[in-house]
Amino acid sequence: MTTSDFIVNVTEATFEYDVLSYSQNVPVVVDFWAEWCRPCKTLEPILEHLAHEANGSFRLARINVDESPNLAIRYGVRTIPTVKAFSGGEVVGEFAGAQPEARVREFINKITPPSPLTLALEKAESILATQNWSAAEIHFRNILAQNPDNLRALLGLAISLLPQGKSFEALNILQSFPAGREYARAELLLPLAEAQTAYRDGLLPTENDLDIAYSNCVRLASKGNLPAALDGLLDIMRQDKNYRDGSARRLILSILELFNREDEQVRQYRSELASILF
């Protein structure tokens, strides 16, 4: 695991200082784990990611229960992973078992004031969810000006650029996107950035009616008319579900990444796509 000022390995000898004393000023989230625990390895990167994102608004302390069994007994740890939050030297919250990031984030938010960076990201992403692309772009650029390595903001910027037809910059971002939690979404966005760039450069095929329709769908997506682009791509697939080695399918999946993942339209379009494919 990664260690830093706000991620530490704790033993029985250091617990009083690194957890109890430290929690008098900053909340400490204690992760009870063991090397042999598979769910622990699932939870670990989530906790680390949130600790780095919080940038010091809480400390993550990791305790190996095999090496520090007395601490596990002292705090009634019956299963691992178990996570306990300390503030003022007392346990103020806890959960057991591997949890999805959204639930862990909710747990962390209850014990820590959000950092200015977290607030800025949440505001930018809420604007993005309303599909106000230009306003979201401004917010993500402002975040990146102060935090150039923040991948969450970098992904948000790429998403905001594509429906505005700013494919060249988006493509550069996505082609060199660093490894991290956002990498998978960046990969899914690549087909749209590539198709928009090819359309802009006049490189999309125009051999038949489906090619013309496909080019029009790319144009519509570049203008931010996402429903019309998706409807057109689904129509192409109804006529040829393997159009150009799956190009229409990949573009549909790419465009869906521009939506808020909780948007009902995403579920509907995925359902229509599945009905065509299967």
Q: Which of 10, 28, 40, 65 is catalytic?
A: 40
Q: Which of 29, 37, 252, 273 is catalytic?
A: 37
Q: Is there a catalytic annotation at residue 40?
A: yes
| Domains of the chain in sequence order | 7-111 (3.40.30.10), 119-277 (1.25.40)
Q: Is there a catalytic annotation at residue 217?
A: no
Q: Residue 50: its pLDDT value, please? A: 93
Q: Which residue has the higher pLDDT, 6 or 188?
A: 188
Which alpha helices (DSSP H) does the chain contain, by range?
Answer: 15, 38-54, 69-74, 101-111, 116-129, 133-146, 151-161, 167-175, 183-200, 209-222, 226-239, 243-256, 264-277
Encode pLDDT of 110-158 as tens digits: 998 777 888 999 999 999 999 999 999 999 999 999 999 999 999 999 9
**Edge-first strand listing for the sheet containing 7-9:** 7-9, 59-64, 28-33, 82-87, 90-96
Axis crossing angle, helix 209-222 with helix 243-256, rounded to the nearest 10: 20
Residue 209, pLDDT > 90, answer: yes
Mean pLDDT of 37-61: 93
